[in-house]
Amino acid sequence: MQKLVIHGGSKLQGEISISGAKNAALPLLCASLLTADTFAIHNTPRLKDVTTMLALLEQIGVRILTNDAGTAELSAAGITNPTASYDMVKTMRAAILVLGPLLARTGQAHISLPGGCAIGMRPVDQHIKGLQAMGAEISIEQGYIRAQAGRLSGARIVMDLVTVTGTENLMMAATLASGTTVLENAAREPEVIDLANCLISMGAKIEGAGSDVITIEGVDRLHGCSHTVMPDRIETGTFLTAAAACGGDITLTRARADTLDVVLGKLAETGAEIDTGADWIHLHMPQRPQAVSLRTAPYPAFPTDMQAQFMALNSIADGTAVMTETIFENRFMHVQELKRLNADIQVEGNTAIVHGIPLLDGASVMATDLRASACLIIAGLVAQGETVVDRIYHLDRGYEQIEQKLAKAGAKIWRTS
């Protein structure tokens, strides 16, 4: 099994280029199922989750051509198998995103029910409830969601809670429904807007993406399009937090500051000096960071996907931070690993109290999920001595060449088997 070895103590300096967003690319690839025409997605990140999604789409019957420049050309003219097997869904929960488009386009879908995962239970009841409101007949049989419908009908759907992939699934399904669908309490994440923009360029009629009410007027058919995946705001935030934690001066290119307002605000509270332009962000950290308290919540509030990275920063910050996780019930698995590096953290329910200490000690640690892996890398970069991060397959699901990008900026980090 591969591991990352990190020798802490270097400052990050120079330029890092940001990849396309994983959480935008995955729903965008599924949108290919909504048309028989050729559909091209550019700036697709080279990630395990993207490879898994492409393999799933191929099993469904989509013909796919990819190139090294990050373009995927997909043609779903012949959908032969509207199924996502347990093997696929257990590898990548985002496989649930084929449910809405398959049902809308073919009238059927047979999707394995995702189980719980390391960070929480993560049910998909809101996806199912929304599709039922649009007229789908759905049953759960032998661990599979069996969904059938004639043409879906527009409906007013008030979601019980804010769900990102739930909003994306229902928005995709509604594009081909008859009549108007109104999604209330919709997710406002930038990835939802990116998907809506792609659907609109396929001929969909969507208004309100980016607000909590999205209105979709169904059309008879969608056509092909060419769309570029937005930059990854969580990758961007991860490198910025790393630079703020270990001191440094970095410029991130192909980055979008407007998707990171709250994260940039928190980094400024730590003492980092930040400048932004249309497609770049520069961060200079002149001092030991100040501790910052935060509470995760749906966009535009502080993202749960940045909580673990900020915990690594708070571990060595000046002061005490109170960090509350409100999205996932079990997203503090990295705390035990940070403690192995000597971090001083107490967890009470969904709140972690982090007392910053001047320096962590390197140790062997184990990654438990994608963002926990990023947290442990940041901790390794600021720890004295050697840190070895095990189970980095989580990392390869969502960060493109992270160790190469960090090494280019001066970090002492490499991969071993």
How far, in Å, CA of 414 to CA of 69, rounded? 24
Binding of ligand EPU by 164 (CB under 6 A)? yes
- Look at residue 227 and give its three-state secondary structure: strand
C-beta of 122 vs 355, nearer to ligand EPU: 122
- Look at residue 64 and give its three-state secondary structure: strand
C-beta of 70 vs 298, nearer to ligand EPU: 298
Minimum distance from residue 169 beta carbon to ligand EPU (Å): 9
Sequence-separated (6 or more) residues with CB below 8 Å from residue 52: 88, 91, 92, 95
Interaction residues for ligand EPU, span 71-110 (CB under 6 A):
94
Binding of ligand EPU by 251 (CB under 6 A)? no
Binding of ligand EPU by 190 (CB under 6 A)? no
> Which ranges in 273-348 belong to alpha helices (H)?
307-315, 334-340
Residue 102 corresponds to which tokens in the numbers above?
């398959």
Binding of ligand EPU by 237 (CB under 6 A)? no
Q: Among residues 398, 399, 400, 402, which is the contact residue for ligand EPU, using CB under 6 A?
A: 398
* Torsion angles phi and psi, residue 205, rounded to 5: -110, 100
Residue 261 corresponds to which tokens in the numbers above?
């307002």
Minimum distance from residue 117 beta carbon to ligand EPU (Å): 8
CA atoms within a 13 Å half-sphere pointing along the CA-CB vector of 380: 29
Binding of ligand EPU by 198 (CB under 6 A)? no
Binding of ligand EPU by 158 (CB under 6 A)? no
Catalytic hit among 117, 225, 246, 375: 117
Best CA proximity match to 380, nearest among 8, 121, 69 = 8
Candidate segments 61-69, 77-85, 157-165, 175-183, binder of ligand EPU by CB under 6 A: 157-165
CB 325 within 8 A of CB 314: no
Candidate segments 6-14, 120-128, 205-213, 277-285, binder of ligand EPU by CB under 6 A: 120-128
Candidate segments 65-73, 162-170, 197-205, 308-316, binder of ligand EPU by CB under 6 A: 162-170
Binding of ligand EPU by 295 (CB under 6 A)? no
CB 282 within 8 A of CB 254: no
Candidate segments 3-11, 303-311, 378-386, 408-416, binder of ligand EPU by CB under 6 A: 303-311
On the 0-12 / 13-18 / 19+ scale of CB atoms within 10 A, 129 is middle
Active site residue 225: no
Interaction residues for ligand EPU, span 361-380 (CB under 6 A):
370-371
CB 263 within 8 A of CB 238: no
Q: Among residues 18, 327, 389, 402, which is the contact residue for ligand EPU, using CB under 6 A?
A: 327
CA 351 to chain centre: 22
Rg of the chain on CA atoms, in Å: 21
Binding of ligand EPU by 289 (CB under 6 A)? no
Element containing residue 379 per DSSP (H, E): helix 370-382
Candidate segments 105-113, 114-122, 170-178, 357-365, binder of ligand EPU by CB under 6 A: 114-122
Instruction: Name the residues annotated as catalytic.
Output: 117
User: Applying CB under 6 A, which residues contact ligand EPU?
Assistant: 23, 26, 94, 120-127, 161, 163-166, 303-305, 327-328, 370-371, 398
